Amino acid sequence: MSAPTTTRRGWLKAASAAAGGLWLAACDRITANPKAIGFLQSAEGLTRRAQRLVADRKALAHEYKASDISGDFRPNGSIDPAEPDYRAHVAQGFANYRLVVDGLVERPLSLSLADLRALPSRTQITRHDCVEGWSSIAKWHGARLGPLLDQAGLKPQARYIVFHCADSLEPQPDGSGQYYESIDLIDAYHPQTILAYAMNDFALPVRHGAPIRLRVERQLGYKQAKYIMRVEAVADFAHIARGKGGFWEDRGYEWYAGI
């Protein structure tokens, strides 16, 4: 392990590379050195655990039957943003809404709802789990985030996708306090990660995040950003708001809110 890497993923990568190298260099002498076998086994075991971790992240969240859909899906957090720009979009029926896709991309995009509806889509009936202890099931339909990002073309430095929302849950004198969220590229390219524009076969209502909200089904409710105005690809989110990757993360919640 030569390069000093600080991230866990980097370290695991280095560990597996070292183990692979040792296998090549030492395979013919291995029976002569039981200590080496122990080391290789543990490094190998580590690599397998690392692979399983990534494989688990790619597994699908459970999908339910139409009969499981909650009749009373609870709206939470912002449910009717008062920001003038957002009010104007509501008044215009979102006819002039554009989703901006920018940051570390080759081709920045500005997409109307019609553009979004023309993208590869997915429909899924999933359970939303809020950290406050309630759950509701709904059918979501929307544009898959992966193909959308491919259309914009992520630059190699891009590591996270940030969702900037229209609402300020806690307006600050300096204009901050806006809701935002972020996910890594494993979740961004997960097949169930969609920008939902429909809920239970109707256009997404305002209380649930019109015109589009994120569904990132392997994580808790606060990651499901509503009222998305801008999708930004970044190398790091330390410079955004208080630097923890989301409105609630900035107030102490976990960044990775796996279910």
Ligand X SMILES: Nc1nc2c(c(=O)[nH]1)N[C@H]1C(S)=C(S)[C@@H](COP(=O)(O)O)O[C@H]1N2
Residues that bind ligand X (CB under 6 A): 74-78, 130, 165, 167, 169, 179, 208, 221-222, 224-227
CB of 85 to Mo ion, least distance (A): 24
Nearer to Mo ion, 72 or 85 (CB): 72
The nearer residue to Mo ion, 221 or 245, going by C-beta atoms, is 221
Q: Choose between 153 and 177: whose C-beta lies nearer to ligand X.
A: 177
- Nearest to ligand X by Cβ — which residue? 77
Q: How far is the CB of 226 from ligand X (least distance, A)?
A: 4
H/E stretch holding 229 reads strand 228-234
Which residues, other chains included, contact 232 with Cβ-Cβ below 8 Å and sequence gap of 6+? Answer: 101, 102, 103, 161, 162, 164
> Is residue 204 a contact partner of residue 197, using CB atoms and an 8 Å limit?
yes
Binding mask 123-142 for Mo ion (x = CB under 5 A): -------x------------
C-alpha closest to that of 155 among 100, 245, 237, 235: 235
Matching residue, tokens 């979102």: 94
The nearer residue to Mo ion, 211 or 221, going by C-beta atoms, is 221
Please report whether residue 209 would count as binding Mo ion according to CB under 5 A. no
Judge contact between 223 and 163, C-beta under 8 A.
no
